Amino acid sequence: MHALPVLWQAWPVAHMHALILFDLDGTLVDPAGAITGGISAALRVHGLPVPDEGVLQAMVGPPLVHSLSALGGVPDSCIPEVMATYRAGYVATGMAQSRPYPGIARCVEALTAEGAVVAVATQKPEWLAEELLTAQGMRHLFASVHGSPRDESATVGGKAPIIRAALDAHRQDAEHAVMIGDRRHDVEGSTANGIPCIGVGWGFAAPGELEDAGAAAVVQSADELLEVLRGGL
């Protein structure tokens, strides 16, 4: 686990208002194969080759419209149809397959009770993030949800603008903000906005990915995350 910066150590959640931003897939919710299985099924429907499991896992986190091209080798002309097939399947069955990670809802509830403002910042389309959280009975836990636009082809800039939107929505608490995520994109987006990122070890990052990206700490359970957010390692 990496040591936290001095500024971050000086901020115990329990003693002042703070803004805590959570990624969604791989951080709050385990897709339980709904994403990788859905991608595979959509590619097969359109007669396209299915990448190996490692590549499919790497697609979880970044905007899927980009991952299909950059990691899956899907021709640009096929992406709209593949995306439509994938989204239809995800809405029909994928959201129901997903499950909150152990202890994470309790962690969020505790943070809110201690005075933190807790929100979601995800590269998932915002409307779909809202639906997933509602389906999992978690939407009420968060002050706001921030994600990609409905037109996923318009998604640019990675995680940074989504985190910025969340910070702007909670300006009164943004001075003491932190991002929680499972991929390097979460760390990079946080760094671009001048806030630390705590990585979670239960998501989709490759070994060493979060540390190499500069995560302030990497935790292995919701209880450990709560301990770190309360002001120390």
For residue 192, the SS3 value is: helix
Q: Are residues 15 and 89 in the same domain?
A: no
Q: What is the pLDDT along the chain (233 residues), one digit of tens a residue?
A: 444 443 344 444 544 448 999 999 999 999 878 888 999 999 999 999 999 998 998 888 778 888 898 888 899 999 999 999 998 998 888 888 899 999 999 999 999 999 999 999 999 999 999 999 999 999 999 999 999 988 766 556 789 999 999 999 999 999 899 999 999 999 999 999 999 999 999 999 999 999 999 999 999 999 999 999 987 54
Q: Is residue 53 domain-shared with residue 26, that is, in the same domain?
A: no
Q: Which amino acid is present at 23?
A: D
Domain, as residue range, for 73? 34-97
Number of domains in the chain: 2
Of 23, 30, 182, 186, the catalytic one is 23
What DSSP state is assigned to residue 215? -
Pair (119, 212) in one structural domain = yes
Among candidate residues 97, 132, 148, the one where a domain is terminated: 97
Q: Are residues 219 and 163 in the same domain?
A: yes
38/2 Cα distance (integer angstroms): 35
Shared-domain flag, residues 18 and 44:
no
Query: Within a 10 A sphere around the Cβ of 47, how many other Cβ atoms?
Result: 7
Is residue 23 annotated as a catalytic residue, yes or no? yes
Same domain for 204 and 123: yes
Phi, psi of 32 (to 5 degrees): 55, 40
